[in-house]
Structure 1
Amino acid sequence: MRWEKLTSREIGALDRSIPVILNIAAIEQHGPHLPLDTDARIGAHFLGEFDARDPDRALILPPVVVCASEHHMDFPGTLTVRHATLLAYVTDILNSVAAHGFRNILLFNSHGGNQAIGQVVVESFGSRHRDCRIGLLTWWRIAAEALAEVQGGGFGSVGHACEFETSLMLHIDEGSVRRELIPGPSHVMTHGWANNDLLRSGRGSLFRTMAEISGGSGVVGDPSLASAEKGRAITRIVVDALTEIVATMK
């Protein structure tokens, strides 16, 4: 169910144990071949597919699409807000949800730059609302093992505007992908302890801008390996994992 499509009376009649989901996304550069709203489209796509399976199992809030993308600001078109702004804004939305009596809340994240502040939201909101349960899900983390079997390239082929994101956009909206501009692999490695990709974390974290990680291309990974078929497989894997997790929240 979509929160904003219901009436006030219909919201009031709902079982307050129903899980409530908020997508946090991004409007930022995605290389020469993908539109700025890629992360927002991907988040909306997963939740749309999830909702279509059974609209009564969760309540989906309007997404927050402009989030924490300062590390992309070397590239034109990127929109960003400060971490403190995002923390306050998302927390205020969740405070409203809790004020209406809903007690099971999930942040569904579709942008890497939101992971750290998303966890702060969970910790700060959860500590102040002990009667609520709140969790953070990032789409590529909730099913990393299964997604690794779909990946065509090796370590580093998935990251940003990459094999996975390009595949998803080919599946969601092929016309939005500038096929003639899809580049080859790009991933500037750093210290071994800090190297990572979408599915594999490093032993530690090291701040680098997207311009540094991508060598100026805006792409981290290998979008030339993308296909709509992979996008369909990724969708099934992620929505299956999301469905399983949401079921544990009620």
Structure 2
Amino acid sequence: MPRGRAEPDHHGPGRARPPRGGARLGARLRRNVSGRSLAARLRRRALRERAGGSVRARRGSVGRGLVPVIFLHEIPHHDARRLLESGAPVYLGFNPVEYHGPHLPLACDRLIGDGVLGMFSARMARRFPDWPVLVARSVDCGVEPTSGRGSRRQRYRDVRRIVRESCRALLELGAQRIVLHSFHGSGLHNLALEDGVQLVRAEGKQAIAPFHIVLREMMDLDAERYAPAFAHIEDPEERAAMIAGLSMDFHAGFFETSLAMHFAGDAVSSRHVELPPCPPFGRDGLLSFLSNLTDAIGHPSAAREMSFAADAMGWPKLRPFPGYTGRPHRARAASGAFFAEQIVERYEDAAVAVFERGEDPPAPVMEWLRPLSGWGSLEATKIDVRHVSHDYPGPG
């Protein structure tokens, strides 16, 4: 984990100070397993493609060549099929283009997802040294994006079709294991990924959608486990409030902004420190009622999920709508590094359970959303962009 000091200085508020002298080599080696190098590699490739240049290098790396990364769709077809015979999992990403407040990019989920993928794939390469790291071309798609100028809206059925077709094509190519990764927290989006998992498993192959683990933990959160990420908050009352509110800090707030600063700091505006805390929001009455009813008829797990959703669905009703939760002005790259380590540790445990021991993959949350939303026909999170705040407070 990077050990640069996350204190305000001339590098920007809250950004990690680069290590000096002989510490640079150690920092490079730490970045080798942090996921930053793969994320940067993916960003550079996208920039070259947008500029119309050819992508000559078909192999990247996590760090300086210690964990080779092969972009499966950029090598000769015959070579791709031969590599898949190893049984190595293919990492396949699905993330939306969506508003993340004025301080983060529209592709924030993909940037963080690429960073997490780098850490995760590096761990998997050490655990399964005979498997090459195979990365498929990611897909920009997502259900229920946060409303804001530039967000691309896609329905559950459309994303489900894209996910399933992407998985089918990889199976046809010879994939035996697929990791469907994302960093988008919509329940319906992750149910679309689960539909891909089920298609792969129906063909007798293995698949996992590890972000299910993050969503499940948000519902049953032991926030104190993440207390070290808040150590820089000097005011004990503010620190306690932020820890207690972590489960509702689900979009572009302290949690996500810290991760973005860790993995893609150049994509985060230094003006995030100007943003006020997200105002408090109430519960959704209908979901609260359904939660109580579901609990009364003997389904406590679904009732807890509905109660969480009732809390979360108060956020889109804020006017003006801020586009972020929590306190992004308190974000730190070091906090993002801590969060990332916690996430990837759980990813690795789940992947080993599935790929090595043959256990069932993590189950999705909120499966009741499919029928309740009319299979995605109802867009409960959609807001007229005229009600969305796109600017920083004050002039400029």
* 1:28 maps to 2:98: yes
CA distance in 2, matches of 1:135, 1:57: 18
1:240 pairs with one of 345, 361, 378: 345
Q: Which moved more, 1:20-29 or 1:152-161?
A: 152-161
1:205 lines up with 2:280 in the alignment: no
1:197 match: none
- More off after superposition, 135-144 vs 56-65: 135-144
Identity %: 22
Tell me which structure has the larger Cα radius of gyration: 2
Moved more, 10-19 or 136-145: 136-145
Q: Note the 1:125-144 alignment, pairs <5 A.
A: 125-126=199-200, 129-138=202-211, 140-141=214-215
- Deviation track 1:152-183 (CA, whole Å, cap 9, x = no partner) reads 32333421001111101111232322222442
Relative to the length of structure 2, the TM-score reads 0.54
Report the number of matched residues: 241
Aligned to 2:162: 89
Unaligned runs of 5+ in 2: 1-68, 231-241, 289-303, 357-396
Query: In the TM superposition, what is the alpha-carbon distance from 1:30 to its structure 2 partner?
Result: 0.5
Query: Which whole-Å deviations, capped at 9, do the CAs of 1:124-174 have from their partners, x for residues lacking one?
Result: x157x3412222221734876596344532333421001111101111232
Letter in 1 for 2:337: R
Partner in structure 1 of residue 283 of structure 2: 190
> Which residue matches 2:361?
none
SS of the counterpart of 2:348?
A: helix
Checking the alignment, whether the CA contact within 8 Å between 2:272 and 2:328 is kept in structure 1 is: no
Residues 211/143 of structure 1: CA separation in 2 closer, same or farther (3 Å cut)? closer
- Say whether 1:171 aligns with 2:244: no
RMSD (Å), alpha carbons: 3.0
Q: Distance in 1 between matches of 2:108 and 2:283?
A: 26
Matched, 1:7 2:98: no
- Which ranges of structure 1 fall in alignment gaps of 5 or more residues? 195-199
User: Does residue 224 in structure 1 map to residue 224 in structure 2?
Assistant: no
Larger RCO: 1 or 2 (CA < 8 Å, sep 6+): 1
Does the aligned pair in 1 maintain the 2:167–2:200 contact within 8 Å?
no
Q: Give me the whole-angstrom Cα distance separating, in 2, the residues matched to 1:204 and 1:243.
A: 26
- Return the offset for 1:88: 0.8
Alignment match, 2:89: 19
Does structure 2 conserve the Cα–Cα contact (< 8 Å) formed by 1:143 and 1:241?
A: no
Residue 209 of structure 1 deviates from its aligned partner by 8.1
Q: 2:117 aligns with which of 24, 41, 47?
A: 47
How has the CA–CA distance of structure 1 residues 108 and 115 changed in structure 2, closer, same or farther, with 3 Å as cutoff? same
The alpha-carbon deviation at position 233 of structure 1 amounts to 1.5
C-alpha distance in structure 2 between counterparts of 1:231 and 1:89, whole Å: 31
Deviation at 1:234, TM superposition (A): 1.9
Paired with 2:319 and 2:254, the residues of 1 have a C-alpha distance of 14
Distance 1:221 1:141 in 2: 17
